Structure 1
Amino acid sequence: MPNATTPEQARLQARQALDRRGQTVLAFAELHSLNPSTVYAVLSGQNKGRRGDAHKAAVLLGIKDGEITN
């Protein structure tokens, strides 16, 4: 089933989830071995998270449905 939220809503919800956990973007990035700039770009909508680490970040943040294969 496709994600029913708009990308903007999904990004907002991802940020709110980080806030609820008291987790910074930097801490999230380090925990998942991601570049913090990539995570910030996905959260801001500058990067759509279609490939590579941006895809991984978007899936882990819950912004998009997908598989992480590595």
Structure 2
Amino acid sequence: MSCKTPQQVKADFEVRGEPISKWADDHGYRRSDVYRVLNGFSPCKRGIPHEIAVKLGIKADPRPSA
């Protein structure tokens, strides 16, 4: 799977008509953290921002596939 850009992820939300805030709530993340990842304010190297980026498809999952 190739990674998406934050702009592509935002466009996907828009096409689906799903608010980013709803995705954050549904996945147990703070809305501000998700917006920081999508707007480039978090480096996403570790922790919650990295986890969010992986779930959104912005970064590849570092775990080996089994």
TM range (shorter): 0.7 to 0.9
Shift of 1:36: 0.4
TM-score (ref. length: structure 2): 0.80
TM-score (ref. length: structure 1): 0.76
State the identity as a percent. 33
* Total equivalences in the alignment: 63
User: What runs of 5+ residues in structure 2 fail to find an aligned partner?
Assistant: none
RMSD after superposition: 2.1
Shift of 1:25: 1.3
Structure (1/2) with the larger helix percentage: 1
Q: Which runs of 4+ in 1 moved over 3 A?
A: none
Matched residue, 2:28: 33
Matches of 1:36 and 1:62, distance apart in 2: 17
User: What runs of 5+ residues in structure 1 fail to find an aligned partner?
Assistant: none
Matches of 2:8 and 2:30, distance apart in 1: 21
Relative contact order, CA 8 A, sep 6+: which one is greater? 2
Matched residue, 1:13: 8
Asked whether 1:62 is paired with 2:57, we answer yes
